[in-house]
Chains A and B, each alone.
Chain A
Amino acid sequence: MTYELNRRGFLRAGVAAGVAAATGTGMTPAFAAPKMGGTLRMGIAGANTSDSWDGRTHSDSFMIMMGHGTVFDCLTEVGADGKLKGELAESWEPSADAKTWTFNLRKGVTFHNGKPFNADDVIASLNLHTAEDAKSAAKPIVSSIAEMKKMNDHQIQLVLSAGNADFPFLLSDYHILMHPADAIEESIAKGIGTGGYMVENHDPGVRTIVKKYDNHYKTDACFFDSIEQIAINDSSARMNALMTGQVDAINRVDFKTEVLMKRNPNINIFEVTGNQHFTFPMLTGVEPYNSLEVRQALKLAFNRQELVDKILQGHGAIANDHPIGPANQYYHKDLAQTEYDPEKAKALLKKAGMEGLSVDLSAANAAFPGAVDAGQLLQASAKAAGIEIKLTQEPDDGYWSNVWLKKPWCACYWSGRATEDWMFSTAYESGVPWNDTGWENVRFQELLLLGRAELDTGKRESIYHEMQAICSAEGGTVVPMYANYVDAHSKKLANSGTIGNAWQMDGSRIAERWWFS
């Protein structure tokens, strides 16, 4: 797979490849007009007995899918084509400094309990995340909101503490769901939103059933009569459920048995390369990772294609030591790729007086599936560069608390973010808690602030391209690969032909966008 294509073309190509591989006959017949009706049954991994309708706590696929796009809506939405569009907000307008944003809200929208949606609901819902003691996972995203003003029932103005050109993008985040202002607790307890489907039964960690909400405002979405989403965390059980026709779609196809699934003529496997990437962060404040040459030598010691082939079984793409992926707007596809080059790595180490470098790497499969195997492959490929890697297999439990951010070099994963600024300011900005390398770069930091307040697309592109280049050349993280989202569905299901790559399962919006053919 190459990156010569543009982003949309890339996605189509990916989907077509999946279809072709599954059928052996090339593209399925043209995508017909959507048809109403039917019960969509899905077997979804990533469910917990702690699952609730509180968007602030959503972190795994089961509730991400059931939350935004099914039962609830956000103000904005990332479309299947990767472009931002309005969901509960119809349109928006920034001030010249990107500090004040005016949102025009959709009219005639009602919650499942009949209450009309208006500006008060937006303010109350945003308050859930911005409040002083809020424990929301989206707090860092919306903490820049300094003031919320209700202009009229269907218009609000949000004043930010600093300019942010991506602000409407941030509001598409799956945590920031819109609740009815006068019944927030009830809404969270029972799942009362504005989405195309109403909750009928929610048994945490077991299954959730929703049925179509007749008064929904979207006319070109939500085609199913009802949806049954079953929690199947065991991957063999999930694959079996689809093979035996007990569910119509599953997420997270098991690469080990994917070949067997492809043989089934009734099943399509669909995959997209999004922003999900696997990383190996080094603490740049610790010897020997404080040396730029050492960091560069280690980056050269990764045989990226081998990792993609063996760890991801080909379901991914090589990455270039920065966290911006093909699903981002300003992905720098022409940036020179760091290749496996043991000789150059050796030369760099010699220059730094670090020949015969020996480093420790901590890994566990909690970081990403296959992280320990990846560490062993790396051990072998780094040997050619004269680098000895001592691999420590850490326990899965408590990995994020005891190893990540603590051990000088470890394995990690990021699901990526919809915007460059969001990704960089989550894990690469100087001093933020999740900067997992402690890396600080003056020019990078300067560009970050510049890009955030810049509204001009051309200028933003050059800013973000430069940032990706700096990160790739000097950053403290090795990002060897992007991991595809690989899902599967029965051929009874149809879609528009463009599959979103913001999340798995068509941007987690399969409930809205797909139908039975």
Chain B
Amino acid sequence: MRSVSAIILQRLGLGALTLVVVSLVIFCAVEMLPGDFAEAILGQGATPESVAAIREQLGLDKPVVQRYFSWLTSALQGDFGVSFARLNFATNFGTSTNTHQITVADQLAPRFMNTLFLAAVAACIAVPVSLAIGILAALYRNSIFDRVANVFTLTSISSPEFFVAYILILFLAVLNPLLPSLSNIYETMDFAERLKATLLPALVLTLVVTAHMMRMTRAAIINLLASPYIEMARLKGLSPLRVILFHALPNALAPIINVIALNLAYLVTGVVIVEVVFVYPGVGQLFVDSVKIRDMPLVQACCLIFAAAYVLLNLLADIMSIISNPRLRHPK
């Protein structure tokens, strides 16, 4: 088992490096956008004096390199700072307030939980459904069912998310008022209400990720169906379903798990547009809001969450495929 733990350690190290690179890229990207927080927040009222005052208070007048490294140093110590909006609000009092300053972490935590909830609901629908369709499509390949499933999932993955979202809103909220078009969930909601409010965005995400997982399942299984050991199983007289579930599927797991993990990561990171369309209070919406006002600490933290989700889920995928594959588990 030495190899697995070594791989984990190595990958975690690489992951950490990726996060640093991501933070640098994002910092530069936001820096290159025209306007900064002071100009964005003041809008038409941006007189040179007030812009300069806000820049000075927030340290935006310091050189870019210095700002990045001071952010990096505190981020490495787990301190993601305070959002510009909050800091600007605090300085409006003239004196520093004794009240607890709300940090980026405080702001992000509830939003992140909401995003995870949405991703979890979507995953609970998408994973079983796409595996089932994939297996059935492999079982009845080239049948009408296989074709319809392929065309349908490919269509939904090829349409932009907001379009899928509006179509679902039209059919499930406007024409047939089954589900709410507004998913503004909040803390005091009970689980059933929350689930109902989250269902529509979760369905959109499901439609977007199903095709990938379903087609990989189908392809991986069909690929194996040509191998001699499957032929042997068939010659024994086993039913096609049993052949697929007990003989083909276990060997096809590695690629399937890989695709599932990638799509789970997408569920966490790809929600930006879906959250905006459904007014879902998750990280995605917070991210859009903070990019709009160039609130660097929040933008950075959101990006790190997205990047970390990818790194960790990819790592998980690799580990799972090692564990599911005896040849990788016991290397010579």
Residues of A within 8 A of B (CB): 43, 48-50, 52, 54, 56-57, 59, 131, 133, 135, 137, 185, 188-189, 201, 203-207, 230-234, 236-237, 240-241, 243-247, 395, 397-398, 400-402, 404, 412, 433
- A414 CB to closest chain B CB (Å) equals 9
Q: Which of B40, B88, B279 contacts A230 (CB 8 A)?
A: B279
**Bound: A50/B181 CA distance, A:** 26
Q: Is the CB of A57 within 8 A of B92?
A: yes
Residue of B nearest to A243 (CB): B174
Q: Which of A54, A59, A201 contacts B45 (CB 8 A)?
A: A59
- B92 CB to closest chain A CB (Å) equals 6
Residues of A close to B42: CB separation below 8 A: 400
Show 20 A/B contacts (Cβ-Cβ < 8 Å), sorted by A: A49-B83, A49-B85, A49-B286, A50-B293, A50-B295, A59-B45, A135-B53, A137-B45, A204-B85, A205-B285, A234-B277, A240-B182, A246-B180, A397-B34, A397-B40, A398-B34, A400-B44, A401-B51, A412-B44, A433-B47
Q: Is the CB of B35 within 8 A of A397?
A: yes
- A221 CB to closest chain B CB (Å) equals 27
| B20 within 8 Å of A (CB atoms) | no
Given contacts A50-B89, A54-B89, is CB(A398)–CB(B278) below 8 Å?
A: no
Q: Is the CB of A395 within 8 A of B181?
A: no
Q: Is the CB of B35 within 8 A of A185?
A: no
- A7 CB to closest chain B CB (Å) equals 27
**Bound: A404/B46 CA distance, A:** 10
**Bound: A206/B278 CA distance, A:** 12
Given contacts A59-B45, A401-B46, is CB(A246)–CB(B182) below 8 Å?
A: yes
**Bound: A282/B23 CA distance, A:** 42
Q: Is the CB of A402 within 8 A of B34?
A: yes
**Bound: A203/B186 CA distance, A:** 10
- B267 CB to closest chain A CB (Å) equals 20
**Bound: A247/B97 CA distance, A:** 37
**Bound: A201/B110 CA distance, A:** 15
Q: Is the CB of B279 within 8 A of A50?
A: no
| B139 within 8 Å of A (CB atoms) | no
- B190 CB to closest chain A CB (Å) equals 17
- B324 CB to closest chain A CB (Å) equals 41
Q: Is the CB of B174 within 8 A of A240?
A: yes
Q: Is the CB of A404 within 8 A of B92?
A: no
Q: Which of B53, B97, B174, B184 contacts A185 (CB 8 A)?
A: B97
Q: Is the CB of A49 within 8 A of B46?
A: no
Q: Is the CB of B181 within 8 A of A240?
A: yes
Q: Is the CB of B33 within 8 A of A50?
A: no
**Bound: A486/B261 CA distance, A:** 46
Q: Which of B47, B99, B289 contacts A48 (CB 8 A)?
A: B289
Q: Is the CB of A236 within 8 A of B277?
A: yes
**Bound: A188/B276 CA distance, A:** 29
Query: How many residues does chain B have at the interface if contact means C-beta atoms less than 8 Å apart?
Result: 49
Residues of B close to A52: CB separation below 8 A: 89
**Bound: A135/B295 CA distance, A:** 19
| B41 within 8 Å of A (CB atoms) | yes
**Bound: A402/B89 CA distance, A:** 25
| Most B CB within 10 A of own CB, among A231, A400, A401 | A401
Q: Is the CB of A185 within 8 A of B93?
A: yes
Q: Is the CB of A398 within 8 A of B39?
A: yes
7 interchain residue pairs of minimum CB distance: A50-B85, A398-B35, A398-B34, A397-B34, A401-B39, A397-B35, A240-B181
Residues of A close to B51: CB separation below 8 A: 401
Q: Is the CB of A48 within 8 A of B85?
A: yes
Contact residues of B between 36 and 83, Cβ < 8 Å to A: 39-47, 50-51, 53, 83
**Bound: A203/B110 CA distance, A:** 11
Residues of B close to A131: CB separation below 8 A: 94
Q: Is the CB of A236 within 8 A of B35?
A: no
Residues of B close to A133: CB separation below 8 A: 94
Q: Besides the contacts A203-B281, A240-B173, A240-B182, what 14 more A-B pairs have beta carbons closer than 8 Å?
A: A49-B107, A49-B286, A49-B298, A50-B88, A135-B50, A135-B53, A232-B182, A232-B279, A240-B174, A240-B181, A246-B180, A397-B40, A398-B39, A400-B44
Q: Is the CB of A48 within 8 A of B44?
A: no
Q: Is the CB of A206 within 8 A of B181?
A: no
Residues of A close to B47: CB separation below 8 A: 433
Q: Is the CB of A135 within 8 A of B35?
A: no
Residues of B close to A412: CB separation below 8 A: 44
- A80 CB to closest chain B CB (Å) equals 27
| B166 within 8 Å of A (CB atoms) | yes
Contact residues of B between 274 and 332, Cβ < 8 Å to A: 276-279, 281, 285-286, 289-290, 292-293, 295, 298
A interface footprint on B93-123 (CB within 8 Å = 1, 0 otherwise): 1100101000000010000000000000000
Q: Is the CB of A50 within 8 A of B34?
A: no
Residues of B close to A189: CB separation below 8 A: 97, 99
Q: Is the CB of B182 within 8 A of A241?
A: yes
Q: Is the CB of A205 within 8 A of B182?
A: no
- A268 CB to closest chain B CB (Å) equals 18
Residues of B close to A244: CB separation below 8 A: 173-174, 177, 180-182
Q: Is the CB of A48 within 8 A of B293?
A: yes
Residues of A close to B177: CB separation below 8 A: 244-245
Q: Is the CB of B290 within 8 A of A400?
A: no
| B169 within 8 Å of A (CB atoms) | yes
Residue of A nearest to B107 (CB): A49
Given contacts A48-B85, A50-B85, is CB(A205)–CB(B34) below 8 Å?
A: no
- A209 CB to closest chain B CB (Å) equals 9
Residues of B close to A207: CB separation below 8 A: 184, 186
Given contacts A48-B289, A240-B174, A397-B33, is CB(A246)–CB(B43) below 8 Å?
A: no
- B185 CB to closest chain A CB (Å) equals 10
A interface footprint on B256-284 (CB within 8 Å = 1, 0 otherwise): 00000000000000000000111101000
Q: Is the CB of A234 within 8 A of B279?
A: yes
**Bound: A176/B198 CA distance, A:** 40
A interface footprint on B160-196 (CB within 8 Å = 1, 0 otherwise): 0000001001000110010011101010000000000
Residues of A close to B44: CB separation below 8 A: 400, 404, 412
Q: Is the CB of B169 within 8 A of A49?
A: no
Residues of B close to A233: CB separation below 8 A: 276
Q: Which of A49, A54, A59, A206 contacts B295 (CB 8 A)?
A: A49
Q: Is the CB of B290 within 8 A of A237?
A: no
Residues of B close to A48: CB separation below 8 A: 85, 289, 292-293
| Most B CB within 10 A of own CB, among A56, A137, A245, A246 | A246
**Bound: A232/B280 CA distance, A:** 10
Residue of A nearest to B286 (CB): A49
Q: Is the CB of B289 within 8 A of A400?
A: no
- B281 CB to closest chain A CB (Å) equals 5
Q: Is the CB of B169 within 8 A of A240?
A: yes
Given contacts A57-B92, A203-B281, is CB(A401)–CB(B35) below 8 Å?
A: yes
Residues of A close to B293: CB separation below 8 A: 48-50
Residues of A close to B92: CB separation below 8 A: 54, 56-57, 135
Q: Is the CB of A43 within 8 A of B182?
A: yes
Q: Which of B46, B169, B285 contacts A400 (CB 8 A)?
A: B46
- B159 CB to closest chain A CB (Å) equals 16
**Bound: A204/B278 CA distance, A:** 17
Q: Is the CB of A237 within 8 A of B35?
A: no
- B35 CB to closest chain A CB (Å) equals 3
| Most B CB within 10 A of own CB, among A56, A131, A203 | A203
**Bound: A401/B97 CA distance, A:** 31
Residues of B close to A246: CB separation below 8 A: 180-182
